[in-house]
Amino acid sequence: MERRQDGDRSRDVVMALLPFICLVLFFTVVRTWLVWLLIPIVAIVIYGPGGKRGRDRRQGGNR
């Protein structure tokens, strides 16, 4: 089993919690559907345009 780096785990945790954060923002503060655009924007910022596959390719992974 491959051991993951701490940075990878924290990215996954942020992405897992982001829909709930958007839900809270939607019902309390913002009240517009545009808050849901945070999910793909944060994913691009965190993982980059290549996503998880691009990161594996740069590190020499076989996926």
Which pLDDT score is estimated for 49?
A: 75
Residues 15-52: pLDDT tens digits? 999 999 999 999 999 889 999 999 999 999 998 877 66
pTM: 0.66
Asked whether residue 50 is assigned to any structural domain, the reply reads yes
Residue with tokens 């993951």: 4
Q: Which domain holds residue 48?
A: 16-58
Q: Which residues contact 14 (CB under 8 A, 6 or more apart)?
A: 42, 46
Asked whether residue 2 is assigned to any structural domain, the reply reads no
Which pLDDT score is estimated for 59?
A: 56
- pLDDT over threshold 50, residue 2: yes
Asked whether residue 1 is assigned to any structural domain, the reply reads no
- pLDDT over threshold 90, residue 60: no
How many distinct structural domains can be found in the chain?
1
